[in-house]
Structure 1
Amino acid sequence: MAVTAKMVKELREMTGAGMMDCKKALNETDGDMDAAVEYLRKNGQAKAEKKAGRIAAEGIVMAEVKDDHTAAIVEVNSETDFVAKNAEFQGFVKAVVDQALVTENTEMDAFMAEAWNGDASKTVNEVLTEKIAVIGEKLSIRRFEKVTIDNGTVVSYIHGGGRIGVLVVAETEVVNEAVKEALKNVAMQIAALHAKYVSQADVDADYINHEKEILLAQIMNDPKESQKPEKVIQGMINGRINKEMKEICLLDQVYVKAEDGKQSVAKYLEEVGKANGTEIKIQKFVRFETGEGLEKKNEDFAAEVAAQMAGN
């Protein structure tokens, strides 16, 4: 059977595999679509090895909450944004979240070696390798985290179609829609303003001392500020530290929806708690941003296709 451009397009949309891979698979299977999908799957290991050195910095973050008390969040990377939007890829990420919800492991190596969603015949890593074959790009399960709480609840928030994901774990005697909405608002705050700690009590003393050393060095390198009395200099340092704490500590941040532009997140939660007969205590939060800290390659898709066509 003659392989048409329409058939190649259909197989690419079904699997997310590369255009030339799809064309080859259809040629090898005489245009049989199901057989072509199977062909791509069977070539998984070789493809995974070829792609191992490539950069996977796109992808999505996905989270899921189970029964208000358990939640998981994962970041799975791909090479291109095109694949990140593919239904095949997104279905795989959903399955990885399901895996993370039930895992007892906290380390990535152990997670990758465990049975895939209860199927003892395959590990998570083996299924990832198969998916690389079908999709045709390097994929990476970069990180995951599972959280649980007995006396309280967990909420999730996904921003930008999976660009940023947040889990907020809170202790509270009352779990209703108003409390959940407040925690969702806090999760949105974390996504937008990138808090690093829940409160100042969580900030390591070494971190603060290091920041003070840097501030002191900056002051001493300034001809005017360095001439000020020691007491004034220490006051300047403490003032700048306090300002930084209000930026990096969630409860000290100004709540982004505050009508007066001054209310802190702590005061907002206190207000919601009183209105619902409870106290809301943020225990922890998790924030994943897709590709954070990874080098992204500059892609010229048209040039890549031209190079593939020329080499065929």
Structure 2
Amino acid sequence: MATQISAQYVKELRQMTGAGMMDCKKALQESDGDVDKAIEALRQKGLASANKKSGRRTAEGLIESYIHAGSKIGVMVELNCETDFVARRIEFQELAKNIAMQIAASPNVEYVSIDNIPTHVIQNEKNIESGKDDLINKPESVKEQIVEGRIKKRLNELSLMNQAFIRNTDITIQDLINEKISLMGENIQIRRFVRFLLGEGIEKINQNFSDEVASMIKS
């Protein structure tokens, strides 16, 4: 029977190695919770290297697009890597397609990562949460904790990297990218994306057919 490993334990190993969550969990289970052995196993498999590659320059890659069924939602995303060789790999192209689909399925996502969220946006969210009626009579220390928790949740909602991957909800988009970095041996970065929603920003006029006919007769 596999050793039971807590989510926090797995998260800590992922932060230490940069390997994917599922790889870290498996390594810990196989090593009976021994962190040093788990790290050694990940290194032997070439999975404990994503963090080391994260600072390397990414000037190649591709721009992927996705149009959702019904043609009412469209996405374009730029995914970067280090070499054109990796950009042409089927695994990299599939990653780009999956990320584009993820963006289409995540209407609340506005930024690549929490680090990309402007300070004024974070401050505005804090002001909104701090002014909510359910916090008025709370002690200040309790109020701060509640606001901090809500802000953290909100920032996670806005960040693409913090989303659960739609094809495997046990991992995040960050985990998915880390796994591909380990697989392909190059730094991979989502540089930017844009989402198009049909009719967004246009005031729609609801007018039934009879009203339209009456309008035409009067004119």
TM-score by shorter chain over 0.5:
yes
2:55 equivalent in structure 1:
none
Per-residue deviation, 1:226: 2.8
2:134 equivalent in structure 1:
222
Q: 1:236 aligns with which of 131, 143, 146?
A: 146
> Percent same amino acid at aligned positions?
36
Q: C-alpha offsets along residues 101-145 of structure 1, whole Å, 9 cap, x if unaligned?
A: xxxxxxxxxxxxxxxxxxxxxxxxxxxxxxxxxxxxxxxxxxxxx
C-alpha distance in 2 between matches for 1:200 and 1:222: 26
Aligned-residue Cα RMSD (Å) equals 2.5
Equivalent positions of 1:1-312 (< 5 A) are 150-173=59-82, 174-175=86-87, 176-194=89-107, 195-218=109-132, 221-222=133-134, 226-228=137-139, 230-258=140-168, 261-301=169-209, 304=212
User: Which residue type is aligned with residue 103 of structure 2?
Assistant: I
C-alpha distance in 2 between matches for 1:167 and 1:152: 13
Alignment gaps of 5+ in structure 1 = 1-148
Mark the CA change 1:236 to 1:262 in structure 2 (over 3 Å): closer, same or farther.
farther
Mark the CA change 1:302 to 1:276 in structure 2 (over 3 Å): closer, same or farther.
farther
Counterpart of 1:186 in 2: which secondary structure?
Answer: helix
Say how many residue pairs are matched. 157
Q: C-alpha offsets along residues 16-35 of structure 1, whole Å, 9 cap, x if unaligned?
A: xxxxxxxxxxxxxxxxxxxx
User: Which residue type is aligned with residue 233 of structure 1?
Assistant: K
Per-residue deviation, 1:268: 0.9
Q: C-alpha offsets along residues 150-170 of structure 1, whole Å, 9 cap, x if unaligned?
A: 522111111134311111111
C-alpha distance in 1 between matches for 2:214 and 2:198: 29
Question: Which of structure 1's runs of 4+ aligned residues deviate more than 6 A?
Answer: none
Per-residue deviation, 1:293: 2.3
Counterpart of 1:165 in 2: which secondary structure?
Answer: strand
Mark the CA change 1:246 to 1:302 in structure 2 (over 3 Å): closer, same or farther.
same
2:15 equivalent in structure 1:
none
Mark the CA change 1:239 to 1:301 in structure 2 (over 3 Å): closer, same or farther.
same
Counterpart of 1:201 in 2: which secondary structure?
Answer: helix
C-alpha distance in 2 between matches for 1:202 and 1:296: 32
2:59–2:81 CA contact under 8 A, matched in 1: no
Mark the CA change 1:257 to 1:284 in structure 2 (over 3 Å): closer, same or farther.
same
Bigger Rg, which one: 1
Alignment gaps of 5+ in structure 2 = 1-57
Per-residue deviation, 1:192: 1.4
Mark the CA change 1:301 to 1:180 in structure 2 (over 3 Å): closer, same or farther.
farther
C-alpha distance in 2 between matches for 1:184 and 1:168: 9
User: Which residue type is aligned with residue 157 of structure 1?
Assistant: Y
C-alpha distance in 2 between matches for 1:216 and 1:305: 51
C-alpha distance in 1 between matches for 2:154 and 2:61: 30
Q: C-alpha offsets along residues 238-279 of structure 1, whole Å, 9 cap, x if unaligned?
A: 111111111111001111111xx3311111111123222222
Q: C-alpha offsets along residues 38-73 of structure 1, whole Å, 9 cap, x if unaligned?
A: xxxxxxxxxxxxxxxxxxxxxxxxxxxxxxxxxxxx
Q: C-alpha offsets along residues 188-227 of structure 1, whole Å, 9 cap, x if unaligned?
A: 1111112100011111111111111121111xx337x633
Counterpart of 1:185 in 2: which secondary structure?
Answer: helix
C-alpha distance in 2 between matches for 1:155 and 1:301: 40
User: Which residue type is aligned with residue 151 of structure 1?
Assistant: E
Counterpart of 2:63 in 1: which secondary structure?
Answer: strand
1:179–1:273 CA contact under 8 A, matched in 2: no
